[in-house]
Amino acid sequence: MTGSRADGTPQRPTLEQVAALAGVGRGTASRVINGSPSVSPQTRDAVMKAVAELGYVPNQAARSLVTRRTGAIALVISEPEERLFSEPFFAGVVRGISKVMDEHDRQLVLVLVHGAAERADEPAAYLSPQHVDGALLLSQHEGDDLPQRLRDRGLTLVHGGRPPGDEEASWVDVDNVGGARGAVAHLLERGRTTVATIAGPPDMQAGRDRLQGYREALGAVGMPFNPDLVSVGDFTELGGWRAMQSLLEQRDDLDAVFVASDPMALGALRALRESGRTVPGDVAVVGFDDSPMAAVSDPPLTTVNQPVERLGREMAEMLLGSLAEGGATEPRSVVLPTSLVLRGSS
Amino acid sequence: MTGSRADGTPQRPTLEQVAALAGVGRGTASRVINGSPSVSPQTRDAVMKAVAELGYVPNQAARSLVTRRTGAIALVISEPEERLFSEPFFAGVVRGISKVMDEHDRQLVLVLVHGAAERADEPAAYLSPQHVDGALLLSQHEGDDLPQRLRDRGLTLVHGGRPPGDEEASWVDVDNVGGARGAVAHLLERGRTTVATIAGPPDMQAGRDRLQGYREALGAVGMPFNPDLVSVGDFTELGGWRAMQSLLEQRDDLDAVFVASDPMALGALRALRESGRTVPGDVAVVGFDDSPMAAVSDPPLTTVNQPVERLGREMAEMLLGSLAEGGATEPRSVVLPTSLVLRGSS
DNA sequence: TTGAAAGCGCTAACAA
DNA sequence: TTGTTAGCGCTTTCAA
């Protein structure tokens, strides 16, 4: 039995009790718990049995105190706008991360870094090796020095998405360039001749990369890049709607458009409908994200699928890998392939 | 200076060093850190100064070891379907929770409880008083016994959303009944005479509550409840589209519809358009959620706004309040008001 | 009001 | 292979 204290809180058994029940010393019990090889099978069995009988669970605080490792990983999300969590992107990434953490018996500490307020005094003082072993960064802002500061504190970091101009960073990203290139190539193969694009915000790496893919696809078939066929949106439905209108004003002869996000593509679909055009008859449309809405829009949206859960998994595994090797390894990076999902809009 | 260890990890200063620098005993330094009243002002100042100078941050592990409190709160999300994170609902709630945790220097540990797999052996063994002081539960499933098991382990809990048939639970919810009632009352006041509803899944409390609000609004003006005017969806756009079609087949004379979620309302809008009807001319539509899409749909959607961030705040504050009082208090509950946002669809 | 000291539960170094 | 022991950094009695 485990006993309980005066306030009714069940009192967890300690390693001491496990050792006593197993008839061994505390050190030996500790070795068994931590999978040390230098323990005889009989001793191991006796300890395991005692652990099971008592329902023993190691006290993480005591353990951290001596090992100086916490078992916790921070998931840092900067400036959680409406967008961030709202996008299925986050759901998938977080799920992937969470599964890996579960598998490794590690805790995920969620840290939302809000705007200037927190930034002012000591930004996320909690994010130090004293509290977490490492950190996963999502949606960093351009020019933010938080990553550098965290590294200075001795934290091992892995970024979701390639951080621009940070050679020291380790990161995992989806192949935005390739995904966009493939989408535009698909439109060209279908015989479209005047392919426009609604690009994402130029201050976001994903926005820039997807525009780059558009250029590369044109270049691959010897078509010139024409600024008239590019309009910039902010990744929202409204932004896509406006961008599409502006494109139609400039070039009423366009017959296809690659849109750098599904919400923007839905806005574009609406603008096209309002202009009296048919999709894909008059204009073919391809989005990016493969969000749930894409499957049920009118018409269903051809779009680029990103392996979001896998992105989370890879991030988590890369971080745990670096931690296992003892930290100071070379920066590493992984790019995950995207795939085109064909639907009615193209 | 704080010194550093061989591996380059900066070595944090300890309370011992703070005490030495301030010229006091370790116990006294501890009292200052923890805001004990029985410390002279001069002593306090000296210690504070030493803390600032050394950049001292208490070691949470050491603290937990003796206080038996962790400073951590778990955010438990059951079965994170696509839906869950995808909805702006989650973004707001998590943001509210996060802010309160920041204010109280507490950590938020994210625990995603996946399907049967985890459930099978020991479900979230981590969720015990040894690791977290309490837990916030989001999107619990009907009949799930996780809450009860966590309480048995001695954890203090607060639910987001009213847990059906759990008298011991503390919870915070938005006024789903009132919000729905107000939405339908609004349609009736606008002169609509045949108000249908697309209800949410009957196995979800929010779905049931919103249907209840619909009934109450009809009852308030002496109108009978007519099953022909009710169709059930699954809170998705596709579900709303289908439900709207089925309603139109049964009752082609309906002139208004209250839809229990915005995604479903967008689907309903599409079905109405496809049937050749105008909104709000032929049929007025009101949704529920005030999601970003509602503002930019065609026409913009009248909908019920929920104070999502506040819901998170209230949950977090309720939990921390219960914890402060020392646990075994009465179950408590809070219902937050919703508000109708008038737009073009009604 | 303050200092000294015990001890929270564990790991790891050292002996045996 | 095993037991013993010295702390990890902190809070909290107990005396003074």
pLDDT over 80 (residue A336):
yes
Who has greater pLDDT, A221 or B88?
A221
Query: pLDDT category, B126, cuts 50, 70, 90?
Result: confident
pLDDT over 50 (residue B182):
yes
Q: Alpha-carbon distance B302 to B179, whole Å?
A: 12
**How confident is the model at residue A80, as a pLDDT?**
56
**Which residues from chain B sit within 8 angstroms of residue A75, using beta carbons?**
110
**How confident is the model at residue B87, as a pLDDT?**
64
CA B64 – C1' D16 distance (Å)?
29
Query: pLDDT category, A1, cuts 50, 70, 90?
Result: very low
The least confident of A8-17, A209-218, A319-328, B60-69 is A8-17
Range A245-272 average pLDDT: 95
pLDDT over 50 (residue B339):
yes
Interval B183-212: pLDDT, tens: 999 999 999 999 999 999 998 899 999 999
- Distance, in angstroms, between B334 CA and closest chain A CA? 25
Do both A258 and A322 map to the same domain? no
Q: Alpha-carbon distance A19 to A106, whole Å?
A: 25
Distances (CA, A) of B313 to A74, A209, A330, B173, B178: 21, 38, 41, 12, 21
Who has greater pLDDT, B43 or B118?
B43
Distances (CA, A) of A336 to A173, A312, B197: 6, 11, 44
Residue B158 lies in a domain: yes
Report the CATH number that the domain containing residue B224 is assigned in CATH: 3.40.50.2300
Which residues in A171-255 belong to E strands, given as ranges?
Answer: 171-174, 195-199, 230-232
Q: B12 vs A238: CB contact, 8 Å cut-off?
A: no
Do both B185 and B302 map to the same domain? yes
Query: pLDDT category, B123, cuts 50, 70, 90?
Result: low
- Distance, in angstroms, between A24 CA and closest chain B CA? 24
Residue B341 lies in a domain: no
Amino acid at position A128, single letter: S
**Which residues from chain B sit within 8 angstroms of residue A267, using beta carbons?**
296
Q: B110 vs A111: CB contact, 8 Å cut-off?
A: no
Who has greater pLDDT, A254 or B87?
A254
Q: B10 vs A153: CB contact, 8 Å cut-off?
A: yes
Interval A42-59: pLDDT, tens: 999 999 999 999 989 899
Interface test with A, best of B54, B110, B138 (most A CBs within 10 A): B110
CA B110 – C1' C7 distance (Å)?
32
Q: A98 vs B86: CB contact, 8 Å cut-off?
A: no
Structure tokens at B232: 């059930």
pLDDT over 70 (residue A26):
yes
CA B26 – C1' C12 distance (Å)?
26
Q: From the alpha carbon of B130, which nucleotide's C1' atom is closest?
A: C9
Structure tokens at B297: 């749909």
Query: pLDDT category, A318, cuts 50, 70, 90?
Result: very high
Do both B62 and B83 map to the same domain? no
Q: Are A283 and A277 in contact (CB under 8 A)?
A: yes
State the CB neighbour count (10 A cutoff) for residue A253.
Answer: 9
Query: pLDDT category, B1, cuts 50, 70, 90?
Result: very low
Residues 241-270 of B with CB under 8 A from A: 241, 267, 270
pLDDT over 60 (residue B80):
no
Interval A272-297: pLDDT, tens: 999 999 999 999 999 999 987 788 78
Query: pLDDT category, A119, cuts 50, 70, 90?
Result: very low
Q: From the alpha carbon of B27, which nucleotide's C1' atom is closest?
A: C3
How many Cβ pairs closer than 8 A exist between chain A and B? 152
Query: pLDDT category, B124, cuts 50, 70, 90?
Result: confident
Q: Are B143 and B107 in contact (CB under 8 A)?
A: no
| Three-class DSSP category at A284 | strand
Task: Write the CB contacts of A62 (distance below 8 Å, at least 6 apart in sequence).
Answer: B61, B65
Query: pLDDT category, B326, cuts 50, 70, 90?
Result: low
Q: A86 vs B84: CB contact, 8 Å cut-off?
A: no
Give me the phi and psi of B274, to 5 degrees please: -65, -25
Q: A328 vs B8: CB contact, 8 Å cut-off?
A: yes
Do both A299 and A260 map to the same domain? yes
- Distance, in angstroms, between B268 CA and closest chain A CA? 12
**How confident is the model at residue B291, as a pLDDT?**
84
Do both A284 and A229 map to the same domain? yes
- Distance, in angstroms, between A185 CA and closest chain B CA? 30
Residues 112-141 of B with CB under 8 A from A: 112, 114, 118, 125-126, 128-131
Q: Alpha-carbon distance A89 to A151, whole Å?
A: 26
Range B38-57 average pLDDT: 91
Q: Alpha-carbon distance B73 to A46, whole Å?
A: 35
**How confident is the model at residue B120, as a pLDDT?**
44
Nucleotide D8: nearest residue by CA–C1'? A66
- Distance, in angstroms, between B166 CA and closest chain A CA? 22
| Three-class DSSP category at B255 | coil
**Which residues from chain B sit within 8 angstroms of residue A154, using beta carbons?**
8-10
Distances (CA, A) of B299 to B179, B250, B288, B342, B346: 21, 25, 15, 12, 9
The residue range of the domain holding B222 is: 176-306
Q: Alpha-carbon distance A90 to A139, whole Å?
A: 10
pLDDT over 80 (residue B142):
no
- Distance, in angstroms, between A192 CA and closest chain B CA? 28
**Which residues from chain B sit within 8 angstroms of residue A327, using beta carbons?**
7
Residue B328 lies in a domain: yes
Buried b or exposed e, range A27-36, using 16+ CB within 10 angstroms:
ebbbbbbeee
pLDDT over 90 (residue B226):
yes
Amino acid at position A125, single letter: A
Counting Cα atoms < 13 Å in the Cβ hemisphere of B75 gives 25
Range A164-178 average pLDDT: 93
Residue B1 lies in a domain: no
Cα-trace Rg, chain A: 26
Q: Alpha-carbon distance A153 to A168, whole Å?
A: 15
CA A26 – C1' D4 distance (Å)?
9
Q: State whether the beta carbon of A48 lies below 7 angstroms from any atom of strand D.
A: no
**Which residues from chain B sit within 8 angstroms of residue A118, using beta carbons?**
102
Nucleotide D6: nearest residue by CA–C1'? A66
- Number of domains comprising chain B: 3
Range B239-264 average pLDDT: 96
Scanning residues 29 through 68 of protein chain B, those with a beta carbon under 7 Å from any atom of strand D turn out to be 30-31, 33-34, 56, 58-59, 62-63, 65-67
Do both A230 and A218 map to the same domain? yes
Answer whether A10 touches B (CB < 8 Å): yes
Do both B232 and B203 map to the same domain? yes
Residue B135, strand partner residues:
B74, B157
Name which of B9, B70, B293 is nearest A237 (Cβ-Cβ): B293
Do both A169 and A188 map to the same domain? no
Proportion of chain B above pLDDT 90, given as a percent: 71
Who has greater pLDDT, B296 or B66?
B66
Name which of A12, A102, A295 is nearest B130 (Cβ-Cβ): A12
Interval B274-315: pLDDT, tens: 999 999 999 999 999 998 778 878 899 999 999 999 999 999
**How confident is the model at residue B117, as a pLDDT?**
47
Task: Write the CB contacts of B74 (distance below 8 Å, at least 6 apart in sequence).
Answer: B108, B109, B110, B111, B126, B127, B131, B132, B134, B135, B136
Q: What is the mean pLDDT of chain A?
A: 89
State the CB neighbour count (10 A cutoff) for residue B69.
Answer: 14
Answer whether A225 touches B (CB < 8 Å): no
Residues 90-109 of A with CB under 8 A from B: 90-91, 94-95, 98-99, 102, 105, 107-109
Q: Could you identify the residue written with the tokens 């204010």?
A: B103
Query: Number of H helices and number of E strands within chain B?
Result: 14, 12
CA B40 – C1' C1 distance (Å)?
7
Residue A1 lies in a domain: no
Do both B56 and B138 map to the same domain? no
In chain A, the residue whose alpha carbon lies closest to the alpha carbon of B89 is A86
Range A119-138 average pLDDT: 80
Residue A2 lies in a domain: no
Q: From the alpha carbon of B15, which nucleotide's C1' atom is closest?
A: D9
In chain A, the residue whose alpha carbon lies closest to the alpha carbon of B62 is A65
The least confident of A1-5, A80-84, A252-256 is A1-5
Q: A237 vs B61: CB contact, 8 Å cut-off?
A: no
Report strand pairing: A256-259 vs A195-199. parallel
Answer whether A82 touches B (CB < 8 Å): yes
Query: pLDDT category, B74, cuts 50, 70, 90?
Result: very high
Cis peptide before A299 (omega within 30 of 0): yes
Reported pTM: 0.90
Residues 308-327 of B with CB under 8 A from A: 326-327
Report the CATH number that the domain containing residue A35 is assigned in CATH: 1.10.260.40
Residue B344 lies in a domain: no
Proportion of chain B above pLDDT 70, given as a percent: 90
State which of B52, B67, B82 marks the end of a domain. Answer: B67
Do both B90 and B43 map to the same domain? no
Residue B138 lies in a domain: yes
Proportion of chain A above pLDDT 90, given as a percent: 71
pLDDT over 70 (residue A215):
yes
Q: B110 vs A94: CB contact, 8 Å cut-off?
A: yes
Interval A294-313: pLDDT, tens: 887 889 999 999 999 999 99
Q: State whether the beta carbon of B20 lies below 7 angstroms from any atom of strand D.
A: no
Q: From the alpha carbon of A15, which nucleotide's C1' atom is closest?
A: C9
Do both B63 and B124 map to the same domain? no
Do both B302 and B313 map to the same domain? no
Interface test with B, best of A110, A275, A323 (most B CBs within 10 A): A110
